[in-house]
Chain A
Amino acid sequence: MLKLACPQHALLEGVQIVSRGVSGRSTQPVQNNVYLEGRGRELRLVATDLEYLSLEALLEANVLEEGATTVPARILSEVASALPNEEVALEADETHGMNIRCGRSRYEIRGLSAADFTMLPPLEQAVRFEMPQGQLETILARTVFATSRDETRPILTGALFRIAEERLEVVATDTYRLALQTAPLEGVGDVTRSAIVSRRALTELARILDGDSPDPVQVAIGDSQVEFRLGKVTLGSRLIEGQFVNYAKVIPASYERRIIANIKELSAALHRALIVAREDANRVVLKTEGGTLKITASSQDVGHAEESIPVTLEGDDAEIAFNARYLLDMLDAVNTTEVVMELSGPLNSGAIKPVGDDTYLYVLMPMQIL
C-alpha cells in the first residue's frame, strides 16, 4: 500500500490546487475526495467533479511503497495547511484510512477505495498547441467575463475556442455583449476545431496561470474534452456540447461614427455616473457634442449625474444608451491608452476596440426604453 514522504509545503500547494476540482455536490462520496497515488518518484494528486473540472498535480516525493488511496478533500486540505513545514509521511492501509505524520503530529484520516475513484477519460484525438501563460491569461481576462450566467442556455455559459487558419479565436457572449480575442497559432497546421469550454474551468485556469512563468501552457483540444498543462499541474474539462451561436452575424460590418476616448478618463467618468445609474439598471446615456462626450444618468429616486470628457469624434454627433457595467467590464480588461467606439444608430450594436490592438473586439448592444 501507498507509503511516501514529501515536504509539507509541497503537499499543501498540491492539495490546495487540486481540491478546487471537487464539486462538493457529487452523489458519489468518493468524488468529493482527493485521489493520491505514489509512483516512481512522484505523488500524483487528482480531484474532479467529472464534468467541467479535473485538476491534477504532480509533486516530487520519496515513494517507499507504490499505491493509491482517496481522502476527503476538505479534511486533507485543512490538515496539510495546519502542519509544520517539515517532512510529511503518508501511509495508507487496507481499510482505506490514511496516516499522516509530521513532526509531533499524527493523524489518521478515513478515506475511500482508490479503485472506486473515477477520472476523466484520457484525451482522444486532440489538436495541440502551446502559448506563453501570460498570453492565455490576457485572452481569458478579456473574454470570460462576457460568458452568460443563464443556465438555461448552457452553450453560452462557456467560451468558444475556435482554431482555424492557424489562428485561435476565443469568443464569449451573454447575448447582450460579445467579446472576441484572436491570437496567431504557429505549428498547428491546417486544422479547424471548435470547442466550448465552461466558465468554471476557465475561471479556475485563470487562477492557476502564472503570467511571469517562463514555461508555456500546453493546450490540447479533443472532441469532447480539453486539457491545459502548466508544468506539474494539469487542468482538464469536458467540453460543453452543442453548437455555439452564429456570432459572426452580430459583428457590425460598418459604422457611421467613431468616438475615440482615453480609457482612464472614460472609465473614471463611468464609475462616478454609476452611483446614480445603478438605480436605473446601470443605464448611462452617451452623447457627443463635437469633441465632448457627455455621460448622463438619472434615477427618479436618486437624482441626476452628468460627466463630460474630451473625445475625438469622426462623423455626426452620436447619442446612445449603454449599461455602464458592460462598458466598464471591457475597459477594465484592456490595457491600451485609448479606446474607439464605432457606432451607428441608437438601437444598433456598437463595436468597441482598444486603439492600436486589433486582436480584440467587443460588441455591445445598447439599452432601450421600453
Chain B
Amino acid sequence: MERLILHADMDAFFASVIQVLKPQYRGQPVIVGGPGERGVVSAASYEARKFGVHSAMPLWKARQLCPRGHFLPVDGPACQDFSRRALAIYQRYTPRLLPISIDEVCLDITGSQKLFGPPLQIAREIQKAIYDELGLTVSIGLGPNRLVAKMASEWQKPNGLTRITADQLPEIFAPLPVSKLWGLGPVTAQRLQRLGISTIGQLQRISLLLLEREFGLMGRHLYAASRGQDDSPVPLYDGKREYRQMSEERTLARDTRDVELLSLTLLGLCDHLGWRLRREGYQGRQVTLKIRLADFQTMTRSVTLSAPTDVDYTIFQAADRLLRSQHFGAKRVRLIGVAVSGLVQDGTPVQLSLFSEGPGRQRRLSRARDDITSRFGPDVISRASLMAG
C-alpha cells in the first residue's frame, strides 16, 4: 500500500509564540534571534518578512532592513511548551510520529484514514486544532514519503496545505532548482551547478553510476531524491524526542587563520550547545570539533570525556583542545562547529568521579545562567570574553 506521510512545519514559530503570549506584538514586525549583533535571525514574523527579513540572516542586516521591528530573544521555555502541546495534538491522529525539530514534525497517517477520513481532512483538522488550542498556524505537506511531504510543506506558507501524489511528482519536481531538494546543502548545490545541473529535472537525467562516482554515498541520495524516492520510515513515537547528537556550527564572517578568534567563536557555540542540552535534558560524552577550510575540505576530530556533560565550559575545553592541536598550514577556516554525541538522558545513572569537584560548580553556574536567560533574555548575561569589545 502506498504510504501517506504528513509533514507539519509551524509558521515563523519563535516569532509566533511571542505574538501569542504578548498581544502587543500582534500585527507587528517581530524578529527573534541573537544573542548580540553577531547573532542571526531565528524567526521573523510575516509582518517582518515584508521588509525582506528572513531566518538565518545576520541581525545587523535585519536591523537595516527593518529598523522599526521588535527585536526579541528566543523564549526557549515557552517554545518548548508550545512544541510539546503541538506534539500532543499530532498524537491524536497517529502513533507513528517523528519530531524533526522544535517546530517540525513528520507523521505517518497511512493507517489513520479509516478513523479520521481522507488525508486533506486530517490535515485541515490538525491545522484547526493547532490554531484553536495554541493560536499558531502550521503549514502542512502531504506526500508518499518523508522527502516529498517535507518539500510539499514548503510549497505554500503560511497556513499552507499542499499534497503531492506519486503521479504528480515528475511534473512538479522537474523545474525546481536542485537547492530545493531536502538534504542537499549549499556546497553540493554549488558542485552540481559547476557540472551544469541547476534543476531537479536535469539531475534526474544523470545516471546513478556517474552520480556515485562524483559524489560517493551522497550520489545515491541525489539519484533517489531527484525522483522523489525516500523509504525512510516514521517510527512509533515513544514520548521522547530522541537525539543521538546535538551540534552547533557557524560560518565565519570571513575566512580566518586566527586561532584566538576561532576559539572565541567556539566558546559562543559551546554556550549555546550546553544550553540546548540542558533544556532538552541530555548529557553527552563525546565532543566533536568540525572545521571546514576555505577550500571546503572538512575535518572532524573527536574526544571522549570521562563522564557525560551538559556544561558549556567542559564542552568548550575539550573542543578547544582539539582546535589547538590542529594544523591548518596556510589554509583559512571558513566554518567551525561543535557536536556532543553519546547522549544520555537525565535520569540515567551516572558513575561519579573521585576527582572532580569542578564540573559540579560549572554545572550550577550554567544552570544559574539558564535561569537568568530564561527570565530576562540572552542579552542580560554573557561571558565577558564574548562581549563586544
Contact = CB atoms under 8 A, between A and B. Distances in A.
Interface of A: 150, 152-153, 173, 175-178, 245, 250, 280-281, 283, 321, 323, 326, 347, 349, 363, 365-370
Given A176-B354, A177-B354, A178-B354, A367 B304 contact: no
B125 interface: no
Contacts of A326: 351
Given A150-B304, A152-B303, A370-B283, A281 B354 contact: no
Nearest to A321: B349
Contact of A349 (B345, B354, B356): B354
A348 to B, nearest CB: 9
A370 B347 contact: yes
A363 B354 contact: yes
Given A152-B303, A152-B304, A370-B283, A176 B348 contact: no
B351 A176 contact: yes
Contacts of A368: 349-350, 352
Nearest to A326: B351
A370 B354 contact: no
Given A152-B304, A173-B354, A365-B352, 5 more contacts: A175-B306, A176-B352, A347-B352, A370-B344, A370-B348
Interface in B306-358: 306, 308, 344-356
A281 B349 contact: yes
Contacts of B345: 370
Contact of A366 (B283, B306, B352, B356): B352
A167 B366 CA distance: 45
B285 to A, nearest CB: 11
B352 to A, nearest CB: 4
Given A150-B306, A152-B303, A369 B352 contact: no
Contacts of A323: 351
A175 B348 contact: no
Interface string B346-389: 11111111111000000000000000000000000000000000
B355 A367 contact: no
A150 B351 CA distance: 15
B352 A283 contact: no
Contacts of A245: 355
Contact of B350 (A150, A152, A363, A367): A367
A280 B344 CA distance: 12
Nearest to B348: A370
A173 B306 CA distance: 13
Contacts of B352: 176, 347, 365-368
Q: Which of A175, A245, A368 has the most CB of B within 10 A?
A: A175
A106 B283 CA distance: 62
Interface in B164-205: none
A367 B350 CA distance: 5
Contacts of A283: 349
Contacts of A175: 306, 353-356
B303 A176 contact: no
Contacts of B346: 370
A245 B351 CA distance: 19
Interface residues of B, number: 18
A178 B283 CA distance: 25
A176 B355 CA distance: 8
Contacts of A281: 348-351
The 5 closest A-B pairs by CB, nearest first: A283-B349, A365-B352, A250-B354, A370-B346, A367-B349
A5 B225 CA distance: 72
Nearest to A151: B304
Nearest to B345: A370
Contacts of B353: 175-176, 365
Contacts of B356: 175
Contacts of B344: 370
B277 to A, nearest CB: 12
Most B Cβ at <10 Å: residue of A281, A347, A367, A370: A370
B69 to A, nearest CB: 40
Contacts of B283: 370
A369 B347 contact: yes
Nearest to B346: A370
A282 to B, nearest CB: 9
Nearest to A283: B349
A280 B349 contact: yes
Nearest to B310: A370
B313 to A, nearest CB: 17
B33 to A, nearest CB: 31
Nearest to A249: B355
A250 B355 contact: yes
A366 B353 CA distance: 8
A177 B354 CA distance: 7
Nearest to A177: B354
Contacts of A349: 354
Centre residue among B303, B345, B355 by max chain A CB count within 10 A = B355
A175 B355 CA distance: 6
Nearest to B344: A370
A136 to B, nearest CB: 26
B337 to A, nearest CB: 21
Nearest to A250: B354
8 contacts: A152-B304, A175-B355, A176-B352, A280-B349, A365-B353, A369-B348, A369-B349, A370-B345
A296 B345 CA distance: 22
Contacts of B303: 152
B358 to A, nearest CB: 12
Nearest to A284: B349
A154 to B, nearest CB: 13
Contacts of A177: 354
A183 to B, nearest CB: 23
A281 B349 CA distance: 7
A365 B354 contact: yes
Interface string B216-246: 0000000000000000000000000000000
B282 to A, nearest CB: 10
A367 B351 contact: yes
A147 to B, nearest CB: 14
Contacts of B306: 150, 153, 175
B363 to A, nearest CB: 10
B118 to A, nearest CB: 39
A82 B356 CA distance: 53
A323 B353 CA distance: 12
A253 to B, nearest CB: 14
B350 A370 contact: yes
Contacts of B355: 175, 245, 250
Contacts of B304: 150, 152
Contacts of B308: 370
A173 B354 CA distance: 9
A202 B352 CA distance: 27
A117 B308 CA distance: 44
Q: Which of B283, B306, B348, B352 has the most CB of A within 10 A?
A: B352
